[in-house]
Chains A and B, each alone.
Chain A
Amino acid sequence: AQSVSQHNHHVILSEAASLELGCNYSYGGTVNLFWYVQYPGQHLQLLLKYFSGDPLVKGIKGFEAEFIKSKFSFNLRKPSVQWSDTAEYFCAVGSGNTGKLIFGQGTTLQVKP
């Protein structure tokens, strides 16, 4: 069965620190890759997505992610986090013809001011 694994469940950083959240998936075919963010008390919002082309994808609020096909990975990065980045981050993969996304279990990011 297809699965998505996020390595870090809870990350605590100070403001201005660099961020990298890991995401690996288990599917060998063509994939569509996503990172969603959920701010406290809110719904999931799209942060960035990869369908094809340049494997380095830029999203909103200074986030970026790199698709490495050989490693089945799609890690999320930000060079300098802010307190307002405190949220839960979900990696998701779409594949096959189902139309549905497989979500990772989420990573909670806490940024200390």
Chain B
Amino acid sequence: DAGVIQSPRHEVTEMGQEVTLRCKPISGHNSLFWYRQTMMRGLELLIYFNNNVPIDDSGMPEDRFSAKMPNASFSTLKIQPSEPRDSAVYFCASSFQDNYEQYFGPGTRLTVT
């Protein structure tokens, strides 16, 4: 099993640009989670999906952030427009809904200048 796949691994962009982060969960998992990690705020849950449906997006910082899961094998997290304070490592994780054991991807390190 390839595990959770995220792309890109690193992204450097200028303020105001659109950023799209991608995630492919482990095949068969039906829950998908997007997290953000910074030194200041630690690990934060942004949004999660069960069976491709967004369940809780209360962690999304503001309307500049949006996430989609068009099918069971793909999800995107989009930031438009990006700001320097969005600089962080963004992790995607997946699991079987009923057992909570999450598998994390390698993360995308985003730098907004």
Contact = CB atoms under 8 A, between A and B. Distances in A.
B62 interface: no
Contact of A51 (B43, B48, B99): B99
A98 B33 CA distance: 12
Contacts of B97: 99
Top 5 A-B pairs ranked by shortest CB distance?
A: A94-B100, A99-B97, A43-B104, A44-B104, A32-B100
B50 A99 contact: yes
Interface residues of A, number: 19
A27 interface: no
A71 interface: no
Interface residues of B, number: 23
Interface of B: 31, 33, 42-43, 45, 48, 50, 55-56, 91, 93, 95, 97-107
Contacts of A45: 104
Interface string A38-53: 0000111110010100
A61 B47 CA distance: 32
Given A43-B104, A45-B104, A94-B100, A99 B95 contact: yes
Contacts of B33: 100
B100 A105 contact: no
